[in-house]
């Protein structure tokens, strides 16, 4: 039996052109049959900063075998939509994100999109690794013990922790300065700064090892990881 393929995709931030290009290259790399059978895990942050938040959500919603996780930017948009103080989000992200929906204010974004964002899970575990937007606090153990705020916001404590408690974690949230995925002994960071002019990156996994076999970018670059 062929190994099961899982593809994880980093922070997209409205970069629909890079997303469609990335997925085309992933399909070419895997082949049509394997692409159709693969599972996809998106690490959150579909909205804000980039030009087409709505288009990214529409694309992700149209995929089969797909898990789309909650990111901190979805969480902020939801808070702005349902809360009484939307002006902070509007001043930081409103023009680009609302513009992609053809509206002038967060309260005018179609409710179906906000409902979809609100339903995003905070983590996904496939038996070998945990996928989450920002990371985990390893002092707390497994991902099930983590507050939701940690899963979408944590940075330094997680990034500096070299322990294996909580297992191997695939995450985004903190753009890497090298422009390529950061593979460590206990985690993989797939936020390669797509919205800042960098790559949009994906990691390809099988079910024989927790670490990836390859990564693919929106430019077509494919590189093998050394396990």
Domains present along the chain, CATH in parentheses: 6-71+115-224 (3.60.21.10)
How much is the pLDDT for 223? 85
Q: β-strands 187-189, 182-183: how paired? A: antiparallel
- State the DSSP string of 76-109: HHHHHHHSS--HHHIIIIIHHHHHHHT-SSGGGS
State mean pLDDT over 15-44.
97
Give the least confident one: 15-24, 47-56, 213-222: 213-222
Residue for token pair 């996809």:
40
Tokens of 179: 């422009």
Give 226's pLDDT tier (boundaries 50, 70, 90).
low
Q: Please report, for residues 164, 187, 190, the alpha-carbon distance to residue 161 in angstroms, rounded to integers and kept in the order given.
A: 9, 10, 17
- Spatial strand order of the sheet with 222-224 comes to 66-68, 39-42, 6-9, 201-205, 214-217, 222-224
Element (H, E) at 130: strand 130-132
- pLDDT in the model for residue 221: 85
- Over residues 132-147, the pLDDT tens digits come to 999 999 999 999 999 9
- Other CB atoms closer than 10 Å to residue 95's CB: what's the count? 11
pTM of the model: 0.96
Q: Given this model, what pLDDT does residue 2 score?
A: 63
């Amino acid at each position: 039996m062929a190994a099961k393929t899982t593809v994880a995709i980093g922070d997209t931030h409205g970069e629909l052109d890079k997303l469609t290009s990335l997925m085309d290259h992933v399909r070419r790399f895997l082949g049509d049959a394997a692409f159709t059978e693969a599972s996809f895990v998106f690490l959150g942050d579909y909205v804000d900063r980039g030009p087409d938040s709505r288009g990214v959500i529409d694309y992700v919603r149209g995929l089969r075998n797909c898990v789309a996780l909650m990111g901190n930017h979805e969480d902020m948009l939801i808070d702005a939509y349902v809360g009484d103080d939307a002006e902070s989000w509007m001043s930081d992200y409103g023009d680009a994100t609302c513009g992609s929906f053809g509206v002038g204010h967060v309260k005018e974004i179609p409710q179906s999109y906000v409902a979809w964002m609100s339903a995003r899970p905070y983590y996904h575990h496939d038996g070998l690794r945990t996928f989450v937007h920002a990371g985990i606090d390893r002092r707390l153990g497994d991902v099930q013990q983590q507050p939701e705020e940690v899963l979408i916001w944590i940075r330094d404590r997680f990034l500096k922790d070299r322990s294996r408690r909580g297992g191997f974690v695939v995450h985004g949230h903190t753009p890497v300065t090298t422009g390529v995925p950061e593979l460590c002994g206990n985690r993989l960071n797939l936020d390669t700064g797509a919205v800042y002019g960098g790559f949009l990156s994906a990691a390809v996994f099988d079910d024989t090892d927790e670490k990836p076999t390859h990564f693919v970018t929106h430019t077509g670059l494919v590189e093998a990881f050394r396990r």
